[in-house]
Amino acid sequence: METLNALVAFLNYVVVPATSYGAQLALGALGVTLIYGILRFSNFAHGDTMAFGTATTILCTWWLQSNGVSFGPLPTALLALPFGIAITSAMVLATDRTVYRFHRKRKASPVILLIVSMGVMFVMNGLTRFIIGVQDRNFSDGDRFVINARQFTEMTGLSEGLALRTTSVITVGAAVIIVAALFWFLNRTRTGKSMRAFSDNEDLALLSGVSPDRVVTVTWLLVAALATTAGVLYGLDKSFSPFTYFQLLLPVFASAVVGGLGNPVGAIVGAFVISFSEVTFTYAWKKVLTYALPGSLLPDGLVQLLSTEYKYAVSFAILVLVLLFKPTGLLKGKSL
């Protein structure tokens, strides 16, 4: 009985939140890694791209809701998502056309492009704040729980309840679908292979007849879709505010770097390394241990390695350690 309770507590407070968060980070990190691998620069504006995508989706959600549209037990935001992606795609393509293309044609170094992305970050951040304001926004509706703690304890007779929020299930489900689709695209379609070729050896790809403009456009479209989805899923799970999303840049980048910048599989692996580390290092393990250990062995105190304030610090610490000892990441990404 006790072991089961310990397991349920472990699942409820560690595994489920970490998996959910990891899936969101993975989608964000995939965007960062695609830009690094194909467009060859670190895009510091990615957090704000996620914010912009989420903000536009929220506006569309509100519009749908005001017109009486709903999605049953699922959040209406999911219906608004395609619109949000479309608007964000237009935004990033416009940004590429007006800003990045100039520097790309001049073969600007990755550092210059990084600085340029800083400028884009400012503008996008301001734009997002402008269209939706700076306060916290909660835009999830529909059923809150697939199964809540009380139902679980009634069903199983355990004292510890496992609550499965709808948003967690949607997040993981959406992430799985999107990642599968992305990998299918990259590995099985002509365009996808041409993008991998372009990332691998640009000169040879051009020689083979790959159109650079097409590759760039498709990359940005993918990035817009990934960033918007990641942002919407995160916002449904927690809440949305431009500042929080800007801060998400840091764990998202950490995930991509830890996994290996430029390597899509690495982005996913890195995301879960980061998310699980953040949660395990800041979780108060006392609860789980209370079930798992006999009373005499129980330690005093909360058994919390670091306070929850240090969540981001954990991802940075891992990021810095990886950069120092294995700069190309766990799964060997590119080094430009």
Partner 1 sequence: MTTMNRNLLIFGGLAAAYVAVGILQSWTLALSILNDGLIVAVVALGVNMQWGYAGLFNVGVAGFFALGGLAVVLVTKPFDPAAWQAGTPEILLALLLAAAVMFAAGRAWKVMESGLLRVVVTFGLLAVGFATFRMIFGPAVEAVEAVNPASAGNIGGMSLPVPVAWLFAGGLAAAAGWAVAKTALGLRSDYLAIATLGIGQIIITLMMNEEWLDRGVKNITNIDRWPVPHEVGLQQQGWFISLAEFLGQDVRTASTVFVGICFALVIGSILVVLLALLELMVRSPWGRMMRAIRDNEVAAEAMGKDVRSRHLQIFVLGSAIIGVAGALYVMRHGLMAPQSYNDPLRYTFLIWAMVILGGSGSNWGAVAGALIVILLWGEAESVGPSILALITAPLNDGPLKQHLVDSAVQMRLPIVGLMLLLVLRFSPEGLIRGR
Partner 2 sequence: MDAPFLIGENMIGGYGPVDILNKCTIAVNPGEIAVIVGPNGAGKSTAMKAVFGMLNIREGQVRLLGEDITKLSPQDRVAKGMGFVPQTNNIFGSMTVEENLEMGAYLRRDNIRDTIEQVYHLFPILKQKRRQAAGELSGGQRQQVAVGRALMTQPMVLMLDEPTAGVSPIVMDELFDRIIEIARTGISVLMVEQNARQALNIADKGYVLVQGGNRFTGTGAELLADPEVRKTFLGG
Whether the CB-CB separation of 221 and 185 falls below 8 Å is answered with no
CB of 218 to partner 2, least distance (A): 15
Question: What is the C-alpha to C-alpha distance for residues 332 and 168, in angstroms, rounded to an integer?
Answer: 30
Q: Is 29 near partner 1 (CB under 8 A)?
A: no
> Exactly one of 147, 206, 265, 317 binds partner 2 (CB under 8 A); which one?
206
Question: What is the C-alpha to C-alpha distance for residues 71 and 139, in angstroms, rounded to an integer?
Answer: 13
Q: Which is nearer to partner 2, 210 or 261 (CB)?
A: 210
Q: Which is nearer to partner 1, 158 or 314 (CB)?
A: 314
Question: What is the C-alpha to C-alpha distance for residues 252 and 275, in angstroms, rounded to an integer?
Answer: 10
3-class DSSP assignment, residue 284: strand
Residue 196 token pair:
């991998």
> In this structure, which amino acid lies at residue 40?
R
Q: Which is nearer to partner 1, 90 or 111 (CB)?
A: 111
The beta-strand segments (E) located in the chain are 145-147, 164-165
> In this structure, which amino acid lies at residue 123?
V
Q: Residues 91 to 120: which contact partner 1 by CB under 8 A?
A: 99, 102-103, 109-112, 114-116, 118-120
> Exactly one of 9, 27, 35, 257 binds partner 1 (CB under 8 A); which one?
257
Question: What is the C-alpha to C-alpha distance for residues 279 and 284, in angstroms, rounded to an integer?
Answer: 10
Compute the chain's Rg from CA coordinates: 21
Q: Residues 317 to 336: which contact partner 1 by CB under 8 A?
A: 317, 319-320, 323-324, 327, 335-336
CB of 112 to partner 1, least distance (A): 7
Q: Which stretch binds partner 2 (CB under 8 A): 70-78, 141-149, 190-198, 320-328?
A: 190-198
CB count within 10 Å of CB 26 equals: 29
Question: What are the phi and psi torsion angles at 185 (to 5°)?
Answer: -60, -45
Burial (Cβ within 10 Å: 0-12, 13-18, ≥19) of residue 304: middle
Q: Considering CB distances under 5 to 8 angstroms, the limit depending on partner class, which of partner 2, partner 1, none binds residue 203? A: partner 2
**Which residues is 165 bridged to in the sheet?**
145
CB of 40 to partner 2, least distance (A): 15
> Exactly one of 18, 254, 274, 331 binds partner 1 (CB under 8 A); which one?
254
**Which string of DSSP letters, residue by residue, matches 160-174?**
S---EEHHHHHHHHH
Show the site string, 9-48: x = touches partner 2 by CB under 8 A, - = not. ----------------------------------------
Residues contributing to the site for partner 1 (CB under 8 A): 41-42, 99, 102-103, 109-112, 114-116, 118-123, 125-127, 129-130, 133-134, 243, 246, 250, 253-254, 257, 307, 309-310, 312-313, 315-317, 319-320, 323-324, 327, 335-336
Residues contributing to the site for partner 2 (CB under 8 A): 190, 193-194, 196-197, 199-201, 203-210
